[in-house]
Structure 1
């Protein structure tokens, strides 16, 4: 039995080291959120047994949990580099026909040849519609639209676009050569009842699940959404020093369980030799 108990410890330590290694590998990935492995003990006994006479049977992995703490904001020179100071996430949509919706903290957006604003995976940034006063008129997934840079002013198509500004509340305003301004909408953001329940799909993107609950869609500065900082990016929340300490602890745990297996093997070999 001690072999299997120590084996469960070995597997747990190996998983812990894999999680920590992934955190360290993504220390420079924009919008990355570190993970933490959670373990629980294994214990079993029959109703007629005294629990004081039964040893534990090892450990098991309860889950690998994402840590959605705030990362450091790093200034950049691009207006379309966006960072969130708060709990919200950007809403992006994939290409037709699926148009899969996902959520991300990676705010590195760039324009395409046709004017769409896309992230590093090519998914399109979503906007919420606004009225003449800049107030959001539809807070649903179905009401969102792709952010597209206009080619000309509403009153004069020959007046070219000269500037795009994004406020703390996510309001996107286009300024044209004739001095005219046009509000394109507000950057769509989402929060979830349980952020840890989101399913990671890579590139700092996540999908909603039954565990995360349905998203609450709104603009920045509302509730826990936080504010949007144009001209900045959120670095990963990985602390290299902390991860290295955890890695050393996981290595020591692995070595200790290996020693326990070695001890059980020696004991078994001694018993076999005594019988022979």
Structure 2
């Protein structure tokens, strides 16, 4: 009987050595969870049970338990290296078979699917193509859309700025009469006058008519005499002439880039001309052209300004929002660029007129050009975000984690992966950070939770146990030999 007891002890010590050695071998394996041997003693029993003086019959390996404690997290330079800080497992799928792992080595395959080293696809929630919202429900294979991001035409521009209240009318802006904007103007008179002489004229003895030179006195009094038909009607007069190439015709200017429906960029410039104490004209040009597409250098160029009105506290009260409609994007040659006729708003709400230098506090516009995929990011909630060269980002999915009622019931598959079993129960799947699930760290890997110092001590203990049980067999053999040698 002692042979069997010693043999069971050797088997147990050997199992302990194997498990400890496996832990040591995987001390550097990402996501590996240490195991430990759990033993139980053995008693010979009959149908009636065992008595109080029953002797043990050895030892048996009852269980190899997984130790699912948190491993250290080391940071990497790969955004698709993932670590779980807390409870849960990554869910992967291959040919429909699900497995669960803590090893966060992930990358993309040629089809854009996020896969691990075994080619298993990471599971997560997809995105609604129309709304861009996460489709929570049944997890699916996460896939990175590598197509270029579509351009978005500008539909709104918002600017907050300050116009200097101490500014004066530009020196180069010569004001003329405008019925809507009364100011000083000059009156000119025509010098062509017709007169009639009463009576009949004698063709043989003509009498010359003389007219007093009253025009000299009129000129001295400030009246200018123009040549015949050279005087414009007052209704033909115009407001101060604006020339974007002449800085003396405006006070301040600023620009912002806007985009058409094809993603082409255009420079929208705003020029501000002070016309009265609390009133300014704002001229808008796009690519050096007025909104009708006429170049500023063209003799036919004109600009219809938008009026900005401030109250006595310097707050903008008129012209906060300007509609810009019917703008046709043009190319460098002044030809239609093929983009849609565009309309957008220019919002100046929050702008001011204070005794301070001209300055732009903020400029925001909602358009952008096309962009190529530049990188991927995953936040702590598992949101998969694509980053593009045009500065835009787009959510492409959300990975999920799974947890189990009994983690010890999971079946090891190798490659630091497990499968569910009847003992583990069904997986509880959800987004990171929900319920009892942990958070995800991108650009990081969870290291093995093996404690080498502890394992080396266990190794020594297992070795001593093996030797001691071998001694039991040796002693039993010696006793047996003694019995055999009896005569």
When normalised by structure 2's length, the TM-score is 0.53
How do residues 72-221 of structure 1 correspond to structure 2 at under 5 angstroms?
72-94=72-94, 98-129=95-126, 137-138=136-137, 140=138, 143-153=139-149, 159-221=371-433
- On the 8 A contact 1:126/1:147 being kept in 2, the answer is no
Q: Do the aligned partners of 2:86 and 2:439 also contact (CA within 8 Å) in 1?
A: yes
**Number of the residue aligned with 1:55:** 55
- 1:125, CA displacement in angstroms? 1.1
Q: Secondary structure at the match of 1:243?
A: helix
CA positional deviation for 1:54: 1.8
Corresponding position of 2:344: none
Aligned residues: 269
Aligned equivalents of 2:135, 2:51: Cα separation in 1: 60
Q: Which residue of structure 2 lines up, in the alignment, with residue 235 of structure 1?
A: 447
User: Equivalents in 2 of 1:48, 1:20: separation in Å?
Assistant: 39
Computing the radius of gyration over CA atoms, which structure comes out larger, 1 or 2?
2
**Pair 78,2 (structure 1): closer, same or farther in 2 beyond 3 Å:** same
- The equivalent residue for 1:39 is 39
| Change in 2 beyond 3 A, CA 1:100/1:248 | same
The equivalent of 1:28 in structure 2 is 28
Distance 2:118 2:38 in 1: 30
> Does the Cα contact within 8 Å between 2:142 and 2:397 map onto a contact in 1?
no
What is the deviation of 1:158?
5.8
Per the alignment, residue 12 of structure 1 pairs with 12
Distance 1:181 1:47 in 2: 72
Change beyond 3 A, Cα 1:173–1:50: closer
Structure 2 alignment gaps of length 5 or more: 153-368
Q: Is the 8 A contact 2:132 2:395 kept in 1?
A: no
Q: 2:466 aligns with which of 254, 261, 274?
A: 254
Shift of 1:92: 0.8
8 Å CA contact 2:404–2:425 kept in 1: the answer is: yes
Give secondary structure in 2 for the equivalent of 1:84. Answer: strand
1:190 aligns to what SS in structure 2? strand
Q: Show CA shifts across 1:45-81 (max 9, x none).
A: 3466872322111111111111111000001111001
Alpha-carbon distance between aligned partners in 1 of 2:117 and 2:50, rounded to the nearest angstrom: 58
CA offsets 1:189-230 (integer angstroms, 9 cap, x no match) = 100111111111111111111111110010101122101000
Q: Deviations over 1:158-207 (max 9, x none)?
A: 63111211111101111222333221111111001111111111111111
Q: 1:46 & 1:151 partners in 2: Cα distance?
A: 73
Q: Which runs of 5+ in 1 are unaligned?
A: none
The answer to whether the 8 Å contact 2:43/2:56 transfers is yes
- Which one has the bigger helix percentage? 1
TM norm structure 1: 0.91
SS in structure 1 of the partner of residue 57 of structure 2: coil
For 2:149 and 2:65, the matched residues in 1 are separated by 47
- Judged with a 3 Å threshold, the aligned counterparts in structure 2 of structure 1 residues 5 and 130 are, in CA distance, closer, same or farther, namely same
Aligned to 2:39, the other structure's residue is in SS state: strand
CA RMSD in angstroms comes to 2.0
Q: Tell me, yes or no, if the aligned pair for 1:31 and 1:204 is still in contact at 8 Å.
A: yes
